[in-house]
Structure 1
Amino acid sequence: MTATDTPGAFSAESWLDTDLDAWTRKVLRRQFDPETGSPYWLKQVPELGFDPLEITRYDELSAFGNFDLSVLRDLDPVDMLPQAVERPLTGRVFESGGTTGAPCRVFYTERMAEVVAGWWQYSQETAGFEPGRTWLFAGPSGPHLIGSMLERVTRMSSSILYGIDLDPRWVKELIRGSRLNEMNQYVDHTSGQVIAILDSQQVDYLETTPAMLQVLLRKRPDLVGKLQGVGLSGTHITTKQYEDFKAAIAGDVICVRYGNTFGCGMGLPYEEGSGRLAYVSNYPQATHAVVDKDDPTRLVGYGELGRVRLTVLHEDLFLPNILDRDQAIRHDTGPQWPCDGVANVEPLTKSKSAPEGLY
């Protein structure tokens, strides 16, 4: 058996060898089985105008149109799970950051969490992080996916973890309300806690957001300079920031990630001076495409800018063709990866009503 059908086993190589069309058929058979499928998707069948079980190729998922994430704001997250998932349920409900409205919710089964954590660990190993080290996490926990995943991954790599919580929703609320003094107080409050740990404990690696690392580098470059590596997720990062961060730390290890509660990706090796930071999704459970901003049914050419579209193909969660709030360059990942990448990700629109803040 391979990693694709053995719970608890993870092999990046096995996943990368997965035929995407065959995987699509497997997910749809599970989601739309009349007896054991997903309650949500089975209710949609009469309105679809086609039989999902007749879809044979990944490209045919376009028939579903663009999934509206607002559905996940009020829906019971369990309704997205196939009835085939063993009961009683064991897992976590995670929420989006709520940048553009009320948070969306999804249920992560143990199978889903294992796969996402496996890709996360693979991205760390590929970047050069070593097991058995000490980490400090400064980022969102609580309802957010990232804190839970890092805790799982540090256990998998026999590492020690310190943690400081950031509340991205509160920071964004302060920005929307032009309460910049309070926002600065919150930044000082959270960064001060990070500094206290870095100043008193031996920490090898820091996992945080580019925005928080920028604050720490401004306040205490000496402490940042002692780090052997940093992992960066969340707010968007530029190539200039990446180069500055790499020059600032003692080690030579940086791992960048792109994604959200629904689908994640890992940073590809950065070529200095290329002006391009590229990412590839957790294939085949997540795939990113870059589409025309005015015609989301059309892929842009490699090297062209467009809107990011995400498709989620977990066996226990199916979300087709989500139009993300980001834009990016369509990136050719070459022969190593069986899917496209995205590069130089940034917000599709920048406004006070949808701020990025610390995350």
Structure 2
Amino acid sequence: MTAPDPAGPALTAAECDAMVDRWLATDLDTWTRDVVRRHFDPATGSPYWVRAAQALPFDPRDITRYDQLAELGPTDLDLLRHNDPADFVPLAVPRPLAGRVWDSGGTTGSPCRVFYTPDMIAHRGVWRRWSFVTEGFEPHRRWLQATPTGPHLIGNGAWEVSGLHGGVAYTIDMDPRWVKLLIGTGRLAEAADYTDHLLNQILDVLGGGRIDYLNTTPALLKAMLRRDPEAVARLRGVRLSGTQLSPALYRRFVAALDGGVCGLSYGNTFGNAAGLPVERGGDLMPYTPNYPQVTMAVVDRADGRTVVPLGAIGRVRLTVLHRDLFLPNVLERDEAIRHRPATGFPADGVANVRPLAAVGTGVEGLY
């Protein structure tokens, strides 16, 4: 599978739907076995993982089941801060590499950096389109992407709504690291000025009713409601990306949209989950991982290994099992409810995600 050129022909809706159906039918143990062998192959594997295998007391190519990935231990995200992102891409991907390196937000330190191959971009985009359809966002509409831009993967959403959902995308500039720096150093007046700067850009694009849907963060939408609630009410819907969202705030947004769609997404630079329909009047906000390339577990906060019972709260543990990126057992800076989606979803999901204060996540800012 090759990602379409954002400036060229897009995948059709039927092609996207067929991909999701095929992914959901994938046997996770078989997928795990194939991905692990690809990354640890001495000749064509990922340079980082081939080196790492030399220090292991077993041959990781002997892993045959998903649950055996625990034997590899957690992935320290410092690996993505201090290594060449190309070292995590198998040599089976033709060199020289051509593509984008994307950065995390840098909330807990210097940013993590990940190289995205065309297949990785396509996988994420198709799942995003699946979310748009599931949540009720109509194709061929006009979107404003008011999220982090520049090195941040969420900014690629402008292509996802235009190239895969037939929409027209407007964008604004947003640097989340700057506002985090302002808040972290106590320069709250300047942080408020930056928020106003973003709102001015957003409301300028929204003027004249040219936008149907807004993709933004809970913090920015909350600020918009204070500034211009009528502009929010005129939208056909909003899609929110970020963890600063409680059930009470979600219900407030739904009321402000006056019948419009309110969709949700959760993820980061290297692993994402698709929003599912909100349940219990907004009390349960669930997500399903972009399976099989991404899986999520909710584990005991203390040991980081024991999966909590369904409905219980624990720390989010992410595993990336892409043919072009392997990151086992990443302990996220978030906590959530362990949730099992309805029939048809082969893996656990998460619900009601929020920052995990116990790990010292730092300043969330506008994201």
TM over 0.5: yes
1:248-299 CA-partner distances (Å, limit 9, x unpaired): 1144312100110010001111124362111111001111100001111211
Over the matched positions of the two proteins, sequence identity in percent amounts to 52
SS at match of 2:269: coil
- Paired with 1:252 and 1:225, the residues of 2 have a C-alpha distance of 8
Q: Give the corresponding residue for 2:325.
A: 317
Once the two structures are superposed, the pairs formed by residues 146-295 of structure 1 within 5 Å of their partners are 146-273=154-281, 275-295=283-303
Q: Give the corresponding residue for 1:33.
A: 41
Instruction: Decide whether the 8 Å contact of 2:296 with 2:317 is kept in 1.
Output: yes
- Paired with 1:197 and 1:274, the residues of 2 have a C-alpha distance of 29
Instruction: Decide whether the 8 Å contact of 1:232 with 1:257 is kept in 2.
Output: yes
- Paired with 1:264 and 1:332, the residues of 2 have a C-alpha distance of 16
SS at match of 1:307: strand
Letter in 1 for 2:169: L
Q: Give the corresponding residue for 1:17.
A: 25
1:100-156 CA-partner distances (Å, limit 9, x unpaired): 100010000001000000000110011111111110111111100011133233222
- Runs of at least 5 residues in structure 2 that lack an aligned partner in the other structure: 4-14
Structure 1 residues 353 and 131: CA distance shift in structure 2, 3 A: closer
Structure 1 residues 231 and 205: CA distance shift in structure 2, 3 A: same
Letter in 2 for 1:131: P
- Paired with 1:31 and 1:195, the residues of 2 have a C-alpha distance of 46
SS at match of 1:99: coil
Query: What RMSD in Å do the two structures reach over aligned CA positions?
Result: 1.5
- Runs of at least 5 residues in structure 1 that lack an aligned partner in the other structure: 1-5
Q: Give the corresponding residue for 1:113.
A: 121
Structure 1 moving runs of 4+ over 4 Å: 350-353
Structure 1 residues 96 and 60: CA distance shift in structure 2, 3 A: same
SS at match of 1:273: helix
Structure 1 residues 160 and 336: CA distance shift in structure 2, 3 A: same
SS at match of 1:334: coil
User: More deviation in 116-125 or 270-279?
Assistant: 270-279
- Paired with 1:186 and 1:309, the residues of 2 have a C-alpha distance of 33
TM (norm. structure 2) is 0.93
Offset of 1:353 from its aligned partner?
6.8
Which of 66, 69, 73 in structure 2 is aligned with 1:58?
66
Letter in 2 for 1:186: Y
Structure 1 residues 345 and 235: CA distance shift in structure 2, 3 A: closer
Structure 1 residues 352 and 265: CA distance shift in structure 2, 3 A: closer
Instruction: Decide whether the 8 Å contact of 1:175 with 1:352 is kept in 2.
Output: no
